[in-house]
Structure formats: structure tokens, C-alpha cells
Amino acid sequence: MPSEYLYGTVAGFKVDVEALRAHYDSTIKSIPALEYKVGDPSYVGWSVLSRDASLEDGIRRVSLDPKKQGIPMVQGTKPTPICTGPLLDAIRQLQGLGLWLYRTRMMRLQPNGREMNFHRDAKNESWRLHVPIYTNPGCFFEWRLQSGKVERVHFPADGRGYFVRVDVTHRAVNKMPEGATRVHLLCGVRGRPSATLYDNAFRL
């Protein structure tokens, strides 16, 4: 995917989103989640692929100092206890496309006008892969471009996956009332997606 793109659909990928929702509801959501930022319960998650196979590793920003984590500074690729059934099937399908996945998480953003702060995850070109599990019409991914313009897109929970740029200033929002939770499978991907792996791409 050329570096001037913001996002694109993962080509050749479609999962049974109803099965993923059932897995989330029956297996994941009752497990205590870890806050992305300490003291902020509005954005929480569970690790799917992590460095030590735990549900907590990689939810918060990974420290660059291995002594602070107590585990080797390697990319998190070990399946955790929730990586079973349709969730494991989705991971294997993505890996079967040739994608190197790491630090993979199930992340939940609460409603009631919740807006993450605009931020960048990297200085150099970097991509994540999102598979929406639960969403609503008030959920958006937003980028703030160098011109000051805010580009906004809604990713439907229809079984498709989406590559998104995270070195461009961005955030997620959930503007719907109570009960309208947003849940995404969020995967780190190594390198720039190749031309055979995306379609419907949107330029900067």
C-alpha cells in the first residue's frame, strides 16, 4: 500500500462476525479487562497475541525498556487463552494471507461521546489492522492531517478487516448513548501492506 494512503480494506478477507461476537460475549467480556491508560475505564482490552501469552501484556503501550516489563523485548506473537474458536480462525486466516501479526488485542471503547485524544503511535510509517466486532453509527476513526483537516471514516462490523495508518495523528470516537459499545480486534502488522493485500484504499 503506497505511503500516501490512510486506510484500505483487507483484500480476500471475510470472517463470520456473528461467531466472533458470540465468542466475545461468552468467553471474553466477563474476564476483567486491562485499562489502556491507568485510571481510565473507558478504553480497555484483552490480549490475543502477546509476548508472554498473558491477557495483559501489550494492552498498554509497550515499554522500550525490557527491564520495566521483565520479559524480552520481542514482538508479541504467542496466543493467549482467549485465542480459540472463531477468534483463532480469524487470526489464522489473516496469517494465511501472508501477514505477520503481533501485539493483537480485543479493545472496547465505551459510548456516551467518548473521544480518544489525538495521538501518533509511531514516527515512521506504521499500520494496524482493525476487524470491527461491535460498532454503531456513532463510531468513527479520525485522522487530523497536516493541513488541519479531520478525515473521518466509519468501519462497519461486516466481517471485513481494515488497514489503518497510525503514524498519522489519529483517534477513535464513540458518540452514541449508553450501551452502544465499540469492540474491535486490533492487530499490529509488520511493514507496509503489499499491493495484493488491499483494495478500496483512501489517499491522504
Of 131, 141, 143, the closest CA to residue 204 belongs to: 143
Tell me how many domains the chain contains.
1
Find the domain containing 116 and state its range: 5-27+38-55+75-176+189-203
How high is the pLDDT of residue 70?
A: 59
Please indicate, yes or no, if residue 181 is contained in any of the structural domains.
no
Please indicate, yes or no, if residue 130 is contained in any of the structural domains.
yes
Please indicate, yes or no, if residue 67 is contained in any of the structural domains.
no
How high is the pLDDT of residue 86?
A: 98
How high is the pLDDT of residue 167?
A: 93
Query: Model-level pTM?
Result: 0.91
Please indicate, yes or no, if residue 33 is contained in any of the structural domains.
no
How high is the pLDDT of residue 145?
A: 92
CATH number, domain containing residue 114: 2.60.120
How high is the pLDDT of residue 63?
A: 60
Provide the residue-wise pLDDT of the chain in tens; the chain has 204 residues: 556 789 999 999 999 999 999 999 999 999 999 999 988 899 999 999 999 999 999 998 766 555 555 555 678 999 999 999 999 999 999 999 999 999 999 999 998 878 888 999 998 999 999 999 999 999 999 999 989 999 999 999 999 999 999 999 999 999 988 778 899 999 999 988 887 676 676 765
How high is the pLDDT of residue 73?
A: 60
How high is the pLDDT of residue 21?
A: 98
